[in-house]
Amino acid sequence: MSMNLIQFQPGLSMPEFLRKYGTESRCRRALYRARWPMGFRCPACGDRRRSSFRRGAQTIYQCRACQHQSTLISGTLLQDTKLPLTTWFMAIHLLTSTKTNMAALELKRHLGISYRAAWRSNMTRSCKR
């Protein structure tokens, strides 16, 4: 029987993960690069020109061509979340670094969030397989 190479893929240790994604701004930068690898593109018209402004803690991007407003998390699974991105990134890391599926109760304990939020993030993983 041949060796399963997927099992031996390098992963991030917890200290490495925290160095890379430990702050809200680092998570925002990583999500921005993942969502718009070639720079911002308007979801409505595809134009690159944009202006940005802050509303509370949220950065709003406005297309200069069509005036469509978008945020970093609009149109994603995180769209209506009240949890910080650091919590979501940690949940993703914990869920993808375990060999078997992690129970929502265990995720709740690790992240310090409600059982309902942990269950939803666990269901998000199940739906995306």
State the number of CA atoms in the 13 A half-sphere of 75 facing the CB: 10
Give residue 73's identity as a one-letter amino acid code.
I
Does pLDDT of 28 surpass 50?
A: yes
Percentage, residues of the chain above pLDDT 70: 87
Does pLDDT of 26 surpass 90?
A: yes
Whole-number pLDDT of residue 67: 96
Does pLDDT of 21 surpass 50?
A: yes
Beta-carbon contacts of 87 under 8 Å, excluding residues fewer than 6 positions away, are: 111, 113
Domain ranges of the chain: 12-124
The pLDDT of 36-64, averaged and rounded, is: 93
SS3 content of the chain, % helix, strand, coil (to 5): 45, 10, 45
Does pLDDT of 45 surpass 80?
A: yes
Contacts by 35-44, CB closer than 8 A, 24 or more apart: 35/72, 35/76, 42/66, 42/68, 42/70, 43/68, 43/70, 43/74, 43/75, 44/68
Per-residue pLDDT of 31-44, as tens digits, reads 999 999 999 999 99
Over the chain, what is the mean pLDDT? 86
Does pLDDT of 129 surpass 70?
A: no
Per the document, the length of the chain is 129
Whole-number pLDDT of residue 29: 95
- SS3 (DSSP) at 61: strand
DSSP string, 89-120: HHHHHHHHHSSSPPPHHHHHHHHT--HHHHHH
Whole-number pLDDT of residue 85: 94
Whole-number pLDDT of residue 81: 87
Q: Which residue has the higher pLDDT, 27 or 122?
A: 27
Selection from 125, 121, 99, 126 nearest residue 110 by Cα: 121
